[in-house]
């Protein structure tokens, strides 16, 4: 089972990270899911693949009633992002899924109907969860051609999808990045290969540099916090991407 | 029924549909051949004139038979398509059930109650409804196979009658006998395909 770790809490406003399932079969990539709660409502970021649904669901239930999840945010269209959508809809058929307009006719293959999906325009949009205003930040071509990250200005947290992801070796299961230089070695090959556009990368770096970020939460690997956020953005800005090596 | 049993059943149904579709393809190809053969036979009968009037009528009937057979195969294909759609939904549901079962094993307290509620709520009912729809489709399939068998029996009778008519066609008797024997042999191919289909269907139904 995954563990549910509260990474931010201020009154009724919470971020819970659902991470690290020791029983996960090794042929499935490890993923992080994030639940953003404001009072009675919640949004689930990248709910995960169908095969890891039991682990995500059981961990989430220890903290929150899954029937109160009103929204799902899908950073992009990959199966490890949203193939569990049909199962989440079993608990709340009224659930709304925010995702790039580009994928609104592709992702329904995982579940849902016309009413389920709220297309995010290329420039991004605000998403209300309870009284909280979140912003979908464009991250196109990083790595998907229709890609968004989610920024919470109150918590100063950026959910960064595959950007910042690291494929950690066995035993490297810390929730936060503790030694940036050690950690980034496990992120390098992934970013070089998966991030396809240098121009998109520079654009993203410029955009997020203007945001006040205390935590950068990727979908795979450890969370960057404090000065490591700036370190990561600078490292990424200088990384040669879109190459096979 | 457990989700593993559901998966096995779904796999079994899909393999059965593939077998039926393969036989349908073979019957359609043969029906097309009969259609062409009948058209040639009609021309031949016309050339033979008065002596082959009966043969001409039977050739026309054989052509209509081939067209009816093609229509029947197209309806059968529609049925197997419907069957595939239901099986697909069953596979999806079986997967959902399997994953929900796993989630239930891992979840305690209120989460487990919520899962139980969802599973009880509509999952089993929905699954039952799909299974009975599949049974209805299978019954219709069986009926259609029986109808097709009758139709092919009629084709076989027409071919045999054409052979008798050929014997009384004067100078054209030899060539028309050859044509009617070809009809008979080709229709017997369809009969064999249908027998295989019926046999498989009976065995599959248990």
Cα angle at A49 between A27 and A22, to 5 degrees? Answer: 50
A225-235 average pLDDT score: 98
Q: Do A54 and B105 touch (CB under 8 A)?
A: yes
- For residue B56 the two structure tokens come to 């001409």
Tell the residue number behind the tokens 């796999």, with chain if given.
B11
CB within 8 Å: B106 and A1: yes
Q: Identify the CATH number of the domain in which residue A70 sits.
A: 3.60.15.10
Separation of alpha carbons B14 and B37, rounded Å = 35
Is position A20 within any domain?
Answer: yes
Predicted pLDDT of residue A85: 95
Is residue A245 a part of any domain in this protein? no
Length of chain A as a residue count: 245
Three-state secondary structure call for residue A115: coil
CB-closest option in B99, B106, B107 to A50: B99
Q: Could you tell me if residue A243 is inside a domain?
A: no
For residue A244, what pLDDT band results from cuts at 50, 70 and 90? confident
Mind listing the pLDDT tens digit of every residue in chain B (206 residues)? 555 666 666 677 778 788 888 888 888 889 999 999 999 999 999 998 888 999 999 999 999 999 999 999 889 888 888 888 888 888 888 888 889 989 999 998 889 998 888 877 666 667 778 888 888 888 888 898 899 999 999 999 999 999 999 998 888 899 999 999 999 999 999 998 888 888 777 776 66
pLDDT score recorded for residue B91: 80
Strand pairing report for A215-217 and A157-159: parallel
The reported pLDDT for the residue numbered B205 is 66
Position A223 in a domain: yes
User: Residue A161: which residues within 8 A CB-CB, separation 6 or more?
Assistant: A46, A75, A76, A81, A139, A142, A147, A148, A149, A218, A219
SS3 of residue A179 by DSSP: coil
Q: Do A53 and B99 touch (CB under 8 A)?
A: yes
**A9-30 per-position pLDDT tens digit:** 999 999 999 998 888 888 888 8
Bridge-based pairing state of the strands A125-129 and A157-159:
unpaired
Residue A93 maps to a domain? yes
Q: Which residues of A touch B (CB under 8 A)?
A: 1, 50-51, 53-55, 57-58, 60-62, 65-67, 86-87, 90-91
Chain segment A36-82, per-residue pLDDT in tens: 999 999 999 999 999 999 999 999 998 999 989 999 999 999 999 99
The answer to whether the Cβ–Cβ distance between A54 and B102 falls below 8 Å is yes
Cβ count within 10 A of residue A32: 24
Q: Is residue A75 part of a domain?
A: yes
- The nearest CA of chain A is from the CA of B117 a distance in Å of 9
Nearest residue in chain B measured CA to CA from A86: B96
Report whether A100 contacts A138 (CB < 8 A): no
Domain range for A144 is: 3-238
Round to whole Å and give the CA distance between A222 and A216: 9
Region of residue A198 (phi > 0: left; psi between -120 and 50: alpha; otherwise: beta):
alpha
What pLDDT sits at residue B123? Answer: 63
- The pLDDT-based confidence of A88 (bands split at 50, 70, 90) is very high
Question: B103 vs A57: CB contact, 8 Å cut-off?
Answer: yes
Mind telling me how many Å the CA of A169 is from chain B's nearest CA? Answer: 25
Picking from A53, A57, A87, the nearest residue to B111 by CB comes out as A57
Total count of residues recorded for chain B: 206
Summarize pLDDT for A151-204 with one digit per residue, the tens.
999 999 999 999 999 998 877 789 999 999 999 999 999 999 999 899 999 999
- Percent of the residues in chain A that have a pLDDT greater than 90, as a whole number: 86
Q: Which of A117, A116, A154 is nearest to A135 (CA)?
A: A154
Q: Which of A187, A200, A158 is nearest to A45 (CA)?
A: A158
User: Do B56 and B40 contact (CB within 8 A), yes or no?
Assistant: no
Q: Do A66 and B111 touch (CB under 8 A)?
A: yes
Which residues lie closer than 8 Å to A167 by C-beta, 6 or more apart?
A: A29, A186, A187, A189, A190, A220, A221
Nearest CA distance, B87 vs chain A (angstrom)? 17
CB contact under 8 A, A55 and B106: yes
Within a 10 A sphere around the Cβ of B175, how many other Cβ atoms?
Answer: 16
- Residue B120 CB contacts under 8 Å (≥ 6 apart), including other chains: none
Domain ranges of chain B: 3-205
ipTM: 0.79
What is the predicted pLDDT for the residue at A236?
Answer: 98
| Interface test mutation site (partner A, options B103, B120, B127, max chain A beta carbons within 10 A) | B103
Which chain A residues are Cβ-neighbours of B105 within 8 angstroms? 54
Domain count, chain A: 1
CB contact under 8 A, A66 and B107: no
Closest CA to A165 of A217, A210, A127: A217
């Amino acid at each position: 089972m995954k563990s549910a770790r509260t990474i931010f809490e201020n009154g009724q406003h919470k971020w819970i990270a659902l991470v690290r399932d020791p029983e996960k079969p090794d042929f499935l990539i490890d993923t992080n899911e994030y639940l953003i709660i404001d009072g009675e409502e919640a949004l689930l970021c990248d709910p995960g693949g169908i095969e890891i649904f039991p682990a995500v669901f059981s961990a989430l239930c220890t903290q929150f009633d899954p029937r109160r999840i009103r929204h799902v945010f899908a950073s992009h269209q990959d199966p490890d992002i949203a193939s569990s959508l049909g199962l989440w809809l079993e608990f709340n058929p009224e659930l709304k899924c925010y995702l790039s307009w580009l994928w609104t006719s592709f992702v329904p293959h995982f579940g849902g109907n016309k009413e389920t999906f709220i297309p995010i325009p290329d420039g991004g949009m605000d998403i209300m969860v309870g009284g909280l205003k979140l912003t979908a930040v464009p991250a196109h071509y990083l790595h998907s051609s229709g890609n968004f990250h989610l920024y919470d200005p109150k918590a100063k947290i950026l959910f960064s999808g595959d950007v910042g992801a690291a494929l950690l070796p066995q035993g490297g299961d810390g929730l936060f990045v503790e030694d940036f230089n050690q950690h980034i070695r496990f992120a390098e090959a992934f970013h070089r290969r998966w991030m396809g556009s240098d121009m998109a990368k520079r654009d993203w770096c410029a955009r997020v540099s203007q945001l006040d970020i205390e935590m950068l939460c990727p979908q795979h690997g450890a969370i960057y916090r404090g000065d490591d956020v700036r370190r990561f953005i600078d490292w990424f800005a200088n990384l040669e991407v879109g190459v096979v090596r | 029924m457990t989700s593993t049993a559901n998966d096995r059943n779904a796999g079994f149904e899909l393999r059965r549909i593939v077998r039926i579709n393969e036989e349908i393809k073979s019957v359609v190809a043969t029906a097309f051949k009969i259609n062409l053969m009948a058209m040639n036979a009609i021309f031949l009968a016309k050339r033979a004139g008065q002596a082959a009037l009966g043969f001409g009528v039977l050739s026309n009937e054989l052509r209509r038979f081939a067209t009816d057979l093609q229509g029947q195969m197209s309806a059968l294909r529609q049925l197997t398509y419907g069957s595939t759609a239901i099986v697909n939904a069953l596979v999806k549901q079986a997967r959902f059930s399997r994953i929900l079962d796993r989630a239930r094993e891992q979840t305690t307290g209120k989460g487990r109650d919520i899962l139980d509620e969802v599973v009880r709520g509509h999952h089993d009912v929905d699954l039952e409804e799909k299974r009975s729809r599949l049974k209805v489709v299978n019954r219709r399939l069986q009926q259609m196979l029986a109808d097709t068998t009758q139709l092919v029996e009629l084709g076989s009778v027409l071919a045999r009658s054409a052979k008798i008519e050929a014997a009384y066609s004067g100078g054209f008797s030899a060539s028309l006998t050859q044509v009617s024997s070809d009809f008979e042999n080709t229709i017997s191919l369809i009969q064999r395909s249908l027998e295989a289909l019926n046999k498989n269907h009976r065995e599959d139904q248990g």
